[in-house]
Chain A
């Protein structure tokens, strides 16, 4: 087939395209992954015993907003980077900078208000610092598989960045899911161990990107 014939074949295949393909694809795939992550959480770990009481407090929601901000930043970046000419949006970086900054200030304030070094360490390490980041990574697996699949089905060309965005989106959501189990409620804990887990998801996505996001 020569190129003119190919063009004629392609022109025969024209149907109107509904706008919003990227958003729809990312949202539907991510939704399935999120469902998988919630299922995984409930078959693996119990909800935090004080969940109802915690939902009446402020920090539960601050924590949720914090992790969802990572997911939002990842989603904004993924929406751009899934396109051939997509560049990472500055808004995503600014959003991350803002929420990490606020949570860090709050965390430092909490540590400074602590009575002594031992209490300070307890605030920072909580009861679960050894497992927190790793559990966020494990819970992100179903979501990451889906965000990567969605991205691959589109047309990314910056595969490392697109993978990082897919990872950050997955990590932000899995951390939000994990917070249904995890009772830790200090800013110092969240800004360290939650952030570490979510950024690890982004790093895994970035590492996988050049391998798994190739499309034809």
Chain B
């Protein structure tokens, strides 16, 4: 998919078209996978975590995309940021300028560290209500309206709840899943 097509999908997604947004994320996922694999010594579980973190950030920060600019550099800037951020977290190092830092040492992540950052594990640490919403809508495949019925909420409230749980998920990712409350994040 070309830059022009990707950008069109992004703009449609910003206007509220969920199908375009899904197509955009699906098209970006393999690119991100290649991006991280190239820089992390192969398609490791850790690289896949970063793919997911980056997709989440692309989703949550999409309001920061300026339509007058090309999309690919915007996505790449987020991916590079996530890479450096992960590196800093593992190495306990302060993140400095991100400009063109391509050379990263191979990481030696233990199984436990990978498991801690796995989104599936993180999902289990969300508050019960948010967890239930995510599971119902996504994993059981209920529609928003069905989920709203089941939880006695309005459809709008379900949407807000889903949005919150995504943010909470993001906050958990940020903290390595150490705490179940979902207050932080942006």
Contacts and interface: CB of A to CB of B under 8 A. Distances in A.
Interface stretch (A3-11, A51-59, A63-71): A3-11
A160 B174 contact: no
Nearest to A84: B77
Contact of B134 (A9, A158, A159): A9
Contacts of B77: 84-85, 157
Contact of B55 (A10, A158, A215): A10
A12 B29 contact: no
B120 A1 contact: yes
Best-surrounded residue of A8, A154, A216 (most CB of chain B within 10 A): A216
Nearest to A161: B97
B78 interface: yes
Given A14-B18, A15-B16, A216-B173, A7 B25 contact: yes
B74 A9 contact: no
Given A9-B137, A216-B170, A155 B57 contact: yes
A14 B17 contact: yes
B1 interface: no
Interface string A2-37: 011111111111111110011000000000000000
Interface residues of A, number: 36
B62 interface: yes
Contact of B144 (A3, A9, A12): A12
A155 B64 contact: yes
Given A158-B99, A214-B85, A83 B144 contact: no
Interface string A127-158: 00000000000000000000000001111011
B85 A216 contact: yes
A157 B64 contact: no
Nearest to A79: B66
Interface in A173-214: 210-211, 214
A214 B78 contact: no
B129 interface: no
B148 interface: no
B55 A6 contact: yes
Interface string B117-129: 0011001000000
Contact of A83 (B52, B66, B94): B66
6 contacts: A7-B25, A10-B21, A10-B25, A13-B166, A16-B15, A157-B80
- Which 8 pairs show the lowest CB-CB distances between chains A and B? A216-B174, A16-B16, A11-B22, A84-B77, A14-B18, A21-B63, A85-B77, A153-B186
Given A15-B159, A216-B185, 20 more contacts: A6-B56, A6-B119, A7-B26, A8-B22, A9-B134, A11-B21, A11-B25, A12-B144, A13-B163, A14-B21, A16-B16, A17-B16, A21-B63, A21-B64, A83-B66, A84-B81, A159-B95, A210-B94, A216-B173, A216-B186
